Chains A and B, each alone.
Chain A
Amino acid sequence: MKRRYGRTVEIALFILPFAAFWILFRLGPVLYGFFISLYRWDPLGDAKFIGARNYLNLARDPRFWNALVNTLEFAAIAIPLIVGIGLVLALFIFAGRKRRVTTWLEAGFFFPYLLTVSVVGLIWRWLLDPDFGVVLITLRDMGISPPVFLNEPRWAIPAIALATAWWLAGYRMLLFRAALEDIPDEFYEAARIDGASGPRIFFSIVVPLLRPAILFALVLTTISGFIVFGQVLIMTAGGPGRASEVLAMYLYRFGFEYLEMGQAAAVGMVLFLIILGLTMVSFRWLGYESSL
């Protein structure tokens, strides 16, 4: 009996340090954030309980819906770009895996992932500068008259999504390449002996076997799409007008520019619920049991 008790204490001690951080800085803030979102928050401390008013304000604010639509638009463009480019690059790298130069090419595709978001934003802002950006100049030289991407409502979000794909696709590439390597060689050989063509091998063997990896990439990318912030702040600051104001930026502005902490916390809760929902759905898709 005493031994069992000691064992329980031991297990608790093993878990406690992690659990303490998790409770204090992960779970706690979510609950605290919900509490904050029910108040009209005076930064000097006199909070007033207003129930769901902050949420109703969000529902009535066209600016919030605009931010939500912009976020969805960003996600809808960035996710296929990131996952698609990542997959294509992985196939390239996988196909050339027997050559030494390939590891260098892979490193080149991957490196942007290691840049901080400020650097990515600054580089692309410079590349897309209306007057002197090398992208626009090159396009003009090719006889195309390009839109002034970052000052055009229709183009701001696609341009940011493109920069984001450049930044993150390399990480997805590694993920897919690893998954491709997990497919036993016999599968390919068997298919080849059966006389299957390249595309058929791809669609009937590679795609089904990569399904979990692709789904996982979709989930992660979707979530990072919902909280996009840094590259928007640096490339357009939400402009022109509000054409690229996304949810995280809406949250930031209400919290730290208009001092409406309650309403900002409500946006945080909305984001939390969206992402929690996505997590649950993805667990079902991916089968979390497999990881237990």
Chain B
Amino acid sequence: MGWREELEHSTPVSRRTFLKTTAAAAAVAAVGSARIPSVMAQERVTTLDYYTLFHSGDAAAMERIVRLFNTENRAVKLNLLQGQWAEYYAQLFAAVGSGNAPHVGICHSSRVMDVYRALTPLEESRAGNLLDAAGIRAPQYTKSVWDAGVFEGKRYLVPLDTHMFGMWYNKDLFRRAGLDPDKPPESREDFERAADAIKTRTGQFAFHPAEDALPRKLRRAWEYLFWGGGGSLLTPDGKRAAFNDERGLRALDYLVGMIHRRGWNAPGTDGFKQFAAGQLGMLIAGNWYFPTAKAAGVNFGFHYVPKFFEKPTTWGDSHNLVIPRQRPERASDDVLVAAAKAIKWINERSSIWGIYGGHIPAFLPAQRAKDLQESETWQIALSKFAYMANQGWLHYPLVHPLAPRVHAAVEPHIQEAYNGRLTPKDALTRAEAEVNRVLIG
């Protein structure tokens, strides 16, 4: 089982799940192939290319949905291509630029500002208002996510899910440390007391702030602490760095102190691995960790992120379904409408996305669907994730045309502070200088 995912939101499925999927696929293929000739004879089949950046458990969950789509729809088929996370957007742009764009794609909410140019404005496409044509209606979606799908007054995104960090804790270690396993800490004081107790009484690692030791994860750890104090990465006009102040410093100092002063963990370690091995008391990690935690056989609980500073805050983002910009010769108006309808359909089945991908569906009827609500995923973890989202604790990463470069400018310095090679003050000063250079360039 994989403990750490390079791709953000992936969850390895268990082998049993996989076998079930395979068996279902085989059955579908058998039934499907028997039907195809008669269908082919009668109607023309429209095939829509659908590119995603999912892999691993997420990819398997999306495959499941697409397989269902392809068995239930005769006139429209989805051709699913799941890409690599790191190059996904570059490839999407390249495909749009060369007139080879997929008909349906995925976009993070936080990327709308630089990716929108490659997308079809859904309410004013050349085929008219695609939302109306497909029956996609705002009230059926989580409001905050729906609202984030607009750029400069035009809607480009249809929400698929929300995903975020929460706190996983080891109930056995809590018990051994003399803590109540049914009362995980919510305030900073309780949290620190719990961490110290785990450290001194069990001799295990007390806490890991961000999944593993990858630079971008450490940056997220610092960010949720920073945001919780009301900070923001850039000035409101997006032209300068705004994090090198007391709030930024307090957050980074607290993060570094966890490792170097309080000794709750060590630099460079992997929290996924530690938690799965039963050596870690508390872990801040994404909802996609559920299947792995379960498979590891750890007696774990799940709770909200503690309130470290003024406001409880967690890092999160959303996947959205989009229609990349199409040339008329590749996609007629009918095809655009078919793509919008496919998006609607995927959302309608997105309880599967919740159960197997571990994400909170943004389509409310799917979120409230019985199969999801009764699933273990929901009862143990997703319900609490949904609570955090509804309370407004979730904070999106920077939305800015240069966001990937701003992040890349911050990350190495945060990592060096975390490793104890730079003081928090120096790290922020260097990061600030580099971010400003990126923003000017």
A66 to B125, CA, bound (A): 46
Residues from chain A with a CB closer than 8 A to the CB of B402 are 258
Interface size on B, residues (CB 8 A): 31
Residues from chain A with a CB closer than 8 A to the CB of B434 are 62-63
Q: With A148-B268, A151-B419 given, is the CB distance from A258 to B117 under 8 Å?
A: no
Question: Which one of A84-92, A171-179, A236-244 contacts B?
Answer: A236-244
Mostly, the B contact residues are helix
Is the CB of B24 closer than 8 A to any CB of chain A?
no
A241 to B117, CA, bound (A): 32
Q: Which of B396-441 contact A (CB under 8 A)?
A: 402, 404-405, 408, 412-413, 415-416, 419, 421, 434, 437, 441
Q: Type the 1/0 row for B73-103, where 1 means its CB is closer than 8 Å to any CB of A.
A: 0000000000000110110011011000000
Give the number of A-B contacts (CB < 8 Å): 66
User: A259 contacts B419, CB within 8 Å?
Assistant: no
Residues from chain B with a CB closer than 8 A to the CB of A255 are 90
Residues from chain A with a CB closer than 8 A to the CB of B421 are 153, 240-241
Residues from chain A with a CB closer than 8 A to the CB of B268 are 130, 148, 151, 240
Is the CB of B388 closer than 8 A to any CB of chain A?
no
Residues from chain B with a CB closer than 8 A to the CB of A130 are 268-269
User: A44 contacts B86, CB within 8 Å?
Assistant: no
User: B215 contacts A257, CB within 8 Å?
Assistant: no
User: B408 contacts A241, CB within 8 Å?
Assistant: no
How many interface residues does chain A have, given as a range? Answer: 20 to 34
Chain A's closest residue to B441 (CB) is A57
- B87 contact from A43, A61, A256, Cβ within 8 A: A256
- B412 contact from A42, A242, A257, Cβ within 8 A: A242
- B90 contact from A45, A61, A241, A256, Cβ within 8 A: A256
Is the CB of A192 closer than 8 A to any CB of chain B?
no
Is the CB of A253 closer than 8 A to any CB of chain B?
yes
* Closest-CB distance, A267 to chain B (whole angstroms): 15
Residues from chain A with a CB closer than 8 A to the CB of B86 are 256-257
Q: With A43-B97, A44-B117 given, is the CB distance from A239 to B90 under 8 Å?
A: no
Q: With A44-B118, A259-B93 given, is the CB distance from A241 to B404 under 8 Å?
A: no
Residues from chain B with a CB closer than 8 A to the CB of A241 are 215, 412-413, 415-416, 419, 421
User: A151 contacts B90, CB within 8 Å?
Assistant: no
User: A240 contacts B90, CB within 8 Å?
Assistant: no
Chain B's closest residue to A150 (CB) is B268
Chain A's closest residue to B6 (CB) is A237
* Closest-CB distance, B271 to chain A (whole angstroms): 13
Is the CB of B267 closer than 8 A to any CB of chain A?
yes
User: A239 contacts B93, CB within 8 Å?
Assistant: no
* Closest-CB distance, B5 to chain A (whole angstroms): 14
User: B93 contacts A43, CB within 8 Å?
Assistant: yes
A153 to B269, CA, bound (A): 16
Chain B's closest residue to A45 (CB) is B97
Q: Type the 1/0 row for B247-269, where 1 means its CB is closer than 8 Å to any CB of A.
A: 00000000000000000000111
Q: Which of B116-137 contact A (CB under 8 A)?
A: 117-118
Q: With A148-B268, A151-B268, A258-B405 given, is the CB distance from A240 to B416 under 8 Å?
A: yes
Q: With A43-B90, A153-B421, A257-B90 given, is the CB distance from A240 to B415 under 8 Å?
A: yes
Residues from chain A with a CB closer than 8 A to the CB of B97 are 43-45
Residues from chain B with a CB closer than 8 A to the CB of A242 are 412
A77 to B34, CA, bound (A): 62
Is the CB of B213 closer than 8 A to any CB of chain A?
yes
User: B415 contacts A44, CB within 8 Å?
Assistant: no
Residues from chain A with a CB closer than 8 A to the CB of B90 are 43, 255-257, 259
Chain B's closest residue to A259 (CB) is B90
A270 to B413, CA, bound (A): 27
User: A239 contacts B415, CB within 8 Å?
Assistant: yes
- B419 contact from A43, A62, A240, A257, Cβ within 8 A: A240
Q: Which of A34-90 contact B (CB under 8 A)?
A: 42-45, 57, 60-63
User: A258 contacts B215, CB within 8 Å?
Assistant: no
Chain A's closest residue to B433 (CB) is A62
A42 to B94, CA, bound (A): 10
Residues from chain B with a CB closer than 8 A to the CB of A57 are 441
User: B213 contacts A151, CB within 8 Å?
Assistant: yes
* Closest-CB distance, B276 to chain A (whole angstroms): 13
* Closest-CB distance, B429 to chain A (whole angstroms): 14
Residues from chain A with a CB closer than 8 A to the CB of B405 are 258
- A239 contact from B118, B215, B441, Cβ within 8 A: B215
Chain A's closest residue to B416 (CB) is A241
Residues from chain B with a CB closer than 8 A to the CB of A153 are 416, 421
* Closest-CB distance, B99 to chain A (whole angstroms): 9
Chain A's closest residue to B419 (CB) is A240
* Closest-CB distance, A257 to chain B (whole angstroms): 6
Residues from chain A with a CB closer than 8 A to the CB of B416 are 153, 240-241
* Closest-CB distance, B433 to chain A (whole angstroms): 9
User: A257 contacts B404, CB within 8 Å?
Assistant: yes
A256 to B269, CA, bound (A): 28
Q: With A240-B416, A256-B87, A258-B408 given, is the CB distance from A44 to B93 under 8 Å?
A: yes
Residues from chain A with a CB closer than 8 A to the CB of B114 are 259
A11 to B35, CA, bound (A): 58
Chain B's closest residue to A255 (CB) is B90
13 cross-chain CB contacts under 8 A: A43-B94, A43-B96, A44-B93, A61-B437, A62-B434, A63-B434, A130-B269, A151-B419, A239-B412, A241-B215, A255-B90, A256-B86, A258-B405
What 9 pairs across the A-B complex have the smallest Cβ distances?
A43-B93, A241-B412, A151-B268, A256-B90, A241-B416, A242-B412, A258-B405, A44-B97, A256-B87
A43-B96, A130-B268 are known contacts; what are 20 more A-B pairs with Cβ within 8 Å? A43-B93, A43-B94, A44-B117, A44-B118, A57-B441, A60-B441, A63-B434, A151-B267, A153-B416, A240-B412, A240-B421, A241-B215, A241-B413, A241-B415, A242-B412, A253-B408, A256-B86, A256-B90, A258-B402, A259-B89
